Structures are given as structure tokens and as C-alpha cells.
Amino acid sequence: MQKNSIRQIVLGVAGLVLAAGASASALEQFKAFAAGTKSAKGDFVQRQVKKTEAGSKTKTSTPASGTFEFARPGKFIWTYKKPYEQLLQADGDKLYIYDKDLSQVTVKKLGDALGSSPAAILFGSNDLEKNFTLAEAGTRDGLEWLKATPKAKDTTFDEINIGLRNGTPEAMELRDSFGQTSVLSFGNFQKNPSLPADHFKFVMPKGADVINN
């Protein structure tokens, strides 16, 4: 997976919280999750797929993987470990993107960037229906799926699907206007872990170039 593609996805996810009863609908599970989960941590695997002319899905990238931590609203650490190292971290006010290979940190104002992005679902407030239209999307791969359509017209993603099992998100599918779908799978999901107050404070790496946007 190319770095620019990863960055676009994650900025969408960060520009992007991830509730209760196995028999509940996806919407009920997700609302309960959002209300009851103030922080979380776990692992993720991310890949891109693209529909062929026949309509089937074909893998188009090498999977990327890493870890995530979040505390709502607007604080998260999203760490890519493979195929290369990259860090996206938000402290509730600013977003920091650290490219270790380039020794470069890009700093952005978090502001309204979470709004109607996937990050709003994962890391934002409980007021999801302000920015998204939510609808049941059936059962697939053993998961109950919820479709979230951004109400804003100028977003990176046209549609976001969240797959839940037993009240916990296990997958997200992010479809963009170019026909590509970014698929995220979550593992080792821990709800409401104890995190220090300064856990999400970004520490600038020594010698890194800083770009303020």
C-alpha cells in the first residue's frame, strides 16, 4: 500500500468511537457502544480493494497493520508498524502525522476535521446522526452491519460500513468516489482501558522537520 494512499485513508479516518448485546441490531449495538465506550485500544489490519468490471472485489494492495488507542472526543494514537512506520496522533486540538522514514512531522488543526469523516465515528462525540445518516445494512461474514452515509457533500468517503459482533466493532469499510474500498479489521479490542491524562500529548521527535498546515 502506497504511503500517499495510506495517508489519504487515515486523514479521512482522522479528518475519523468506535456496544451491546449479541441479539441487538447493528444500530442498537453501535449506539450502545458509542455511549458506553469512552476509550479503547487494539490492533488493526488495513487493505484496499477495488471492484472489477464484473463487480467482484480484488485485493489491490499489501495489507498494512499496527495498533490504535483512543479517548473520546478527538484523542487518538494510530500507529502503522508494517509495511513501514508512520504515526498519526491527535491530542483533541491538533493532529500530528509523523513519517519516520522522512523524519518529518506535519501538524494540522483538528478543528472540524473530524466532522463527517470516519474519524468522527471512531474518535468523535456521540452526536453521530448530526453528520451521518445511519441505516441497517444486514448480516455478512458473521457480523451485523451498519451503514453511515455522510450528510456533507465534500467528504473523502461516500459511504462507511461498520461490522459489529457482540457489541464491538470488528470491521469498517470506507468507500470513496473512485470506486476503491478501504477495509479495516480490528482485533484485541479493549474497551475503556486506563490511560494516563497526558497519554495523547505528542512528543516531537528530535531532529524532525516540522510542517504546519
Q: How far apart are CA 196 and CA 188, in angstroms?
A: 20
Q: Which domains does the chain have, with CATH numbers?
A: 3-18+23-212 (2.50.20.10)
pLDDT tens per residue across all 213 residues of the chain? 555 655 555 555 554 343 333 347 898 888 888 888 899 999 999 988 876 665 555 656 789 999 999 998 889 999 999 988 999 999 989 989 999 999 999 998 886 556 556 666 777 665 677 778 889 999 999 999 999 888 877 777 888 899 999 889 999 998 887 778 889 999 999 999 998 989 999 999 999 999 998
Dihedral, 75, 15, 3, 67 alpha carbons, nearest 10? 30
Pairing of strands 64-71, 168-176: unpaired
Nearest to 181 by CA among 81, 49, 18: 49
Closest listed residue to residue 5, CA positions, set 55, 53, 48: 48
